[in-house]
Structure 1
Amino acid sequence: MSISGALNNALTGLTASSRLAEVVSSNISNALTDGYARRVIELSSKELGGVSVDGIDRMIDRGLIADRRLADAQYSGQSLTADMLSRLESGLGAADDPSNIGSRIAAVEAALIRASGDPSSELRLTQVADAFGAMIATFDQNNDDIQNLREEADRTIDRQIATLNDRLVQIAALNADVLRLSASGTDISGLLDARQRLIDTVAELVPIRVTESDNQTVRLMTTSGLTLLDGRPASFSFKMTPTITADMSLSSGALSGVLWDGQPLDNDDGIGRLDGGSIGAAFAMRDEILVNVQASLDTLAVDMVARFQDPANDPTLTAGDPGLVTVQGNSLNPLDVAGLAGRLTLNPLFDPSVGGGFARIRDGLNGPVLAPNSDATQINRWIVAFSELREDLPLSGKQSLSARAADFTSRLGATRLSAETDASFSQARLSTLTQAELAQGVDTDQELQTLLKVEQSYGANAKVIETVDFLIRRLLEI
């Protein structure tokens, strides 16, 4: 080997060692950085001697990342569902909560039983009125709690659709940067890390598949085949509804679905092939789960109103007369029950503040107001009405009022428990996949060992240059 060849080999070795040291230091400094992929330099020998730096590889397992992203989408959706149901149950009251609707109904029955023991007692009749008022207020509050959560779900959809659009635009911009810089031979590892982090945020919103081309640009689509990014990003839109009432639905046109490049994704569920992540979960909460809870609450309200306007339970009433509890002053209309729980009022005949009197609990709503007396016949009819098995809406089943209230509360608790169980399972799966992915990240001990080898290599190449320098100087001295 000639002296010039030896010098060239040593210089390329120094260059490679410098690049190795740079990569190792980058790995160590980013050991705790989320989304950072460990870098490895690719080296090869030159035909005429020396070493060539062919490029820098990011050490990732694409299959593992794809599985982790799908798990991320599943957990994001299920955790959103579990969280909202947990807050709903806290607001409406669990089975053992003295403020839940079942407890309020039981309090009315208990007040009537006390009043039947002394029908002449104005205090006990007042306690019945107070119990009815607390029950109606709880119905109204429960109705508001459900609709507030539907509004929150609607806002969540709006916010997440905006995030999805922003991330797709940013990924498209990074695709363009990757294409441009890779053609010039520039290291694009940092861009690829940034793009991976953006794709991860998209994966929380919708379940996706990522396809990488030979030029290192990516194409995104949902697992159900909807294209999100293929050269240009798709554009999604959604119209938020500030105030939602129980009668508002997607099918009626009162609530918005997602538009894809200006066209509805799906007229039935509003989301179509975007389903599966947190956006899909928010739609399910707004249009299905909370609507079903509202329907169960309204069914309970129908049952309660029907019992107290039934002439069989108050002979002073005629068919069509409002009972003790009215629908904003009117009798029950079985064809208009959406949001009924939020439209209940005490009958004015029963309310002293508007000229009525508590004695009508004892004497009947439309009967003559009698002097205080000990006749508990009518009060006992109200008490019997609580235990009567009724079915005032088709397919609602025959139940007593207390049993229907208990069923409402237990169903909500079971739905919440099921959602939390699903979320716990998906969280465990996501955690396992995340740990497996992190295990392929930077190992600082391994990097330090590599750094020692780089130090030895650099010193050896420097020694070669020193020796060549000595030989050249000796030749010049001759």
Structure 2
Amino acid sequence: MTISSALSNALSGLTVASRAAGVVSSNIANAMTEGYGVRSLSVAARITGNAGQGAWVTGVTRHEDAALLGERRRAEAELGRSGTQSAHLARLEALVGTPDQPGSLTARAAAFEAALTVAAAGPHDQTRLGAAVGAAVALAETLNTISDGIQAERLAADGEIAGGVARINGALAELATLNTRIRQDAGGGRDVSALLDAQAVLVDGIAPLVPLESRRDATGALQLFSSDGQALLDGRPAVLGFTPVTVMTPARSVADGGLSGLTLNGRALPLGGAAPALEGGTLAALFDLRDRRGPAAQAALDAVARDLAARFDAPGLDPTRVPGQPGLFTDGGLAVDPAAETGLAGRLAVNAALRPEAGGAAWRLRDGLGATAEGPRGEAALLQAQVEAMAALRPTASGGFSGAARSFGGLVAEQLSQIGMARQAEERTQAHVAARHGALAAEAAGQGVDTDAEMQALLRIEQVFAANARVVSAAQEMIEQLIGMGR
């Protein structure tokens, strides 16, 4: 080996050591950076003719377990779905309220029944009659509030869908831009690891919204698909379409055109049926909340309101009321029509004939809604009949309840029980999904930067650098000796 070849080999070793130190320092610096893929230097022997001529850097390799990454992202989507549904059911349960809460639906129903009982025991007492009317008003207003809350939940879900769609569209556009740069840089022999990191962060940002499958083509560009096969990024980025609303009503739905569906490049996506699109993530859960769970909760509440009104509209209960005229509980002042049940809970009101502030009188609760003058103050027959109407066992005609007969208090308790059981079931699912996601996240974190191993590698690089520097120093000394011998 000549001195010049030794010097060339040593200089190549110094170059490799310098690049390796840069890679290791980058790994250590980004040990806590989300989306960062651990780098390693790819080195090969440099051969000129049949002889080795040192080493050279062939590239920087970014390490990533694609299978584990895909599993973690799918778990994030499932966790997002379960978390959204669990949070919704918890809010719905809080909206209806538990029996121990003074303003809950159960408490209001019990208070109204108790006030009627007290009034029946002392029909001459105007204070008792007024308290019973006030309890009826409070019960109707509670149903109104819960109905408004359900629609607010649906409206909030609609707004979150719009935000999620915007996030996905923005991320897909940025991913496509990065794909272009990756093709250009990879074609020019430049390191694209930082661009791959940027793509990983973008994909992680939308993974909770939609379950994703990813792969790279021969040029290194990222291709992205939903788990049901919808192409989100395949050459060009897809564009999701959605139009939010500003007002939500119980009657609004996708079927009647009152609510927006979801489109992909202008093509309507099926959000229900046997094969719903984009199923399994937060986005699908929000559509489910807006289009299925919310309307189902409203339907159950409307059934409660209808049952309450029907108990006091029963034929023969109030002989003074003309058939077809509003009963104790009205649909915004009109008689309750079973055919117009949708949204009834939000419109339910106590008959103005009973409310002093509306020109009515509380004594009509005792004497009848059609009474034009106050009757005998000791007469309690109608009041007692109303107490019995609340306690009567009646089948529930709508709202998804079973056909079993139940009192009004029993119906309210069953509605709350259904919400509570659904919440508990979803929380159990969420706990299972969270445990799986936590295990996958921990496994992925374990494949991140190992600072101990990187520091050990840095020590080896230091030794290699020192050895190559010593070869350069020795070669310099030999050259100086040869020069000195020629003088």
- CA apart distance, 1:21: 0.5
- The aligned counterpart of 1:90 is 94
Opposite residue 80 of structure 2, the aligned amino acid is S
Opposite residue 27 of structure 1, the aligned amino acid is N
- The aligned counterpart of 2:362 is 358
- The aligned counterpart of 1:442 is 449
Q: How does 1:12-51 map to 2 (within 5 A)?
A: 12-47=12-47, 48-51=52-55
- The aligned counterpart of 1:266 is 270
Q: Which moved more, 1:75-84 or 1:95-104?
A: 95-104
- The aligned counterpart of 1:8 is 8
What SS is found at the alignment partner of 2:406?
coil
Aligned residues: 478
Q: How does 1:336-351 map to 2 (within 5 A)?
A: 336-351=340-355
Would the aligned equivalents of 1:325 and 1:345 in 2 still touch at CA under 8 Å? yes
- CA apart distance, 1:321: 2.3
Q: Which moved more, 1:310-319 or 1:38-47?
A: 310-319
Distance 1:37 1:372 in 2: 87
- CA apart distance, 1:372: 5.3
Structure 1 residues 123 and 271, CA, compared in 2 at 3 Å: closer, same or farther? farther
Opposite residue 207 of structure 1, the aligned amino acid is P
Q: Deviations over 1:24-75 (max 9, x none)?
A: 1101111111111111111111223211211111121111001001001111
Would the aligned equivalents of 1:311 and 1:318 in 2 still touch at CA under 8 Å? no
What SS is found at the alignment partner of 1:55?
strand
Q: Deviations over 1:110-148 (max 9, x none)?
A: 001111111100010010011011111101000000000
Distance 1:313 1:226 in 2: 60
Q: How does 1:6-405 map to 2 (within 5 A)?
A: 6-47=6-47, 48-266=52-270, 272-371=276-375, 373-391=377-395, 393=397, 396=401, 397=403, 398-405=405-412
Tell me how large the CA RMSD over aligned residues is: 1.6
Q: 2:462 aligns with which of 435, 450, 455?
A: 455
What SS is found at the alignment partner of 1:87?
helix
Structure 1 residues 453 and 133, CA, compared in 2 at 3 Å: closer, same or farther? same
What SS is found at the alignment partner of 1:140?
helix
Opposite residue 460 of structure 1, the aligned amino acid is A
Q: How does 1:465-476 map to 2 (within 5 A)?
A: 465-476=472-483
Q: Which moved more, 1:265-274 or 1:385-394?
A: 265-274
Q: Which moved more, 1:318-327 or 1:4-13?
A: 318-327
Q: How does 1:404-415 map to 2 (within 5 A)?
A: 404-415=411-422
Q: Which moved more, 1:94-103 or 1:444-453?
A: 94-103
* Gaps in structure 1 of 5+ consecutive residues: none
Distance 1:268 1:200 in 2: 26
What SS is found at the alignment partner of 1:253?
coil
Q: Deviations over 1:387-420 (max 9, x none)?
A: 1122362574222111100011111111222222
Distance 2:157 2:412 in 1: 26
Opposite residue 199 of structure 2, the aligned amino acid is R
What SS is found at the alignment partner of 2:58?
strand
Would the aligned equivalents of 1:359 and 1:369 in 2 still touch at CA under 8 Å? no
- CA apart distance, 1:177: 0.5
* Gaps in structure 2 of 5+ consecutive residues: none
Q: Which moved more, 1:421-430 or 1:62-71?
A: 421-430
Would the aligned equivalents of 1:108 and 1:128 in 2 still touch at CA under 8 Å? yes
Distance 1:7 1:144 in 2: 82
What SS is found at the alignment partner of 1:214?
coil
Distance 2:85 2:396 in 1: 31
- The aligned counterpart of 1:424 is 431
Distance 2:358 2:202 in 1: 62
- CA apart distance, 1:367: 3.3
Distance 1:465 1:89 in 2: 77
Q: Which moved more, 1:349-358 or 1:294-303?
A: 349-358
Distance 2:406 2:259 in 1: 34
Distance 2:99 2:351 in 1: 29
Distance 1:135 1:409 in 2: 15
Q: Which moved more, 1:197-206 or 1:168-177?
A: 197-206
Distance 1:451 1:12 in 2: 18
Would the aligned equivalents of 1:37 and 1:60 in 2 still touch at CA under 8 Å? yes
- CA apart distance, 1:92: 2.3
- CA apart distance, 1:22: 0.3
- CA apart distance, 1:355: 2.5
Distance 1:267 1:231 in 2: 25
- CA apart distance, 1:103: 1.2
Greater than 4 Å deviation, 4+ residue runs: 267-271
Would the aligned equivalents of 2:367 and 2:375 in 1 still touch at CA under 8 Å? no
Structure 1 residues 270 and 120, CA, compared in 2 at 3 Å: closer, same or farther? farther
TM-score of the superposed pair, with normalisation by structure 2: 0.95
What SS is found at the alignment partner of 1:302?
helix
Structure 1 residues 436 and 267, CA, compared in 2 at 3 Å: closer, same or farther? closer
Q: Deviations over 1:232-284 (max 9, x none)?
A: 00111101011010011111111000111112112757994222211101000
TM-score of the superposed pair, with normalisation by structure 1: 0.97
Distance 2:102 2:12 in 1: 80
Q: Which moved more, 1:278-287 or 1:39-48?
A: 39-48
